[in-house]
Amino acid sequence: MAKKIIALGSDHAGYKLKTEIIKYLQKRGYETVDVGNDSESISSSYATYGHKLANYIQKNKGTENEVFYGIGVCGTGLGISYALNRHEGIVAASVSTVKDGALAKQHNNANVLCFGGRIHTIEEAEKIIEAYENETFEGGRHMDRIKGIDEFIDVDSEGHIFKKTEVK
C-alpha cells in the first residue's frame, strides 16, 4: 500500500489542536508533515501557514510524497481557508460539523479541511475527519459548479484575484 501523507499547518491559535490531530492521524497509520507554526505562545499569521501548506501540497503533487489531503488550523478555520483557497489546485473547506466534513468531499471535492482551534475539540475534529474520509466526490453537477468558479475568477502571480469573464 502506498503511503498516505497528510500535511498540516496552523497559526498560534490552531497549534494545540493541530498537534492533537497529528497524534490522532499517526495512531491511524498516516504519515504527517507539519509545515508550522511550532508554538502557541508566539503570535503568527494564518496567512503565512496557509500559504506554506498550499505550497507544500502543490510542490509534491505527482511525486512519491504527494499529499493525500491537508489540514489547516487557525482560530476559527476561516482565515487559513481564505489563504489556502488563493492557490491553484487547492479547495479548502472550513468545516464545523460532521455534515460539513462529509459534504466538503461529496459536493466540493475539498483537498484541505480547516478547523478552528478556538472552536473545535479534538473529539469533534476526529469525527469530522472520519466523515470526510468516508465519502467520495459525487462529480456531475458538483463538478460543473466547481468548474464555474474556475471559469469566473483567476489569480495572478502575486495572489490577486480578478474576474476572468462576465457571468451570464
Among candidate residues 74, 87, 114, 120, the one labeled active-site is: 74
Pairwise CA distance, residues 123 & 90, whole Å: 26
CATH topology of domain 5-137: Ribose 5-phosphate Isomerase B; Chain: A, (3.40.1400)
Q: Which residue, 129, 78, 89, is CA-closest to 111?
A: 89
Q: Which pTM value belongs to this model?
A: 0.86
- Residue ranges in the chain whose pLDDT is less than 50: 167-168
Q: Is 79 annotated as a binding residue?
A: yes
- The reported pLDDT for the residue numbered 118 is 98
Q: Contact at 8 Å (CB) between 65 and 4?
A: no
- The reported pLDDT for the residue numbered 107 is 87
Q: Is 107 assigned a catalytic role? A: yes
- Range(s) of the chain covered by CATH 3.40.1400.10: 5-137
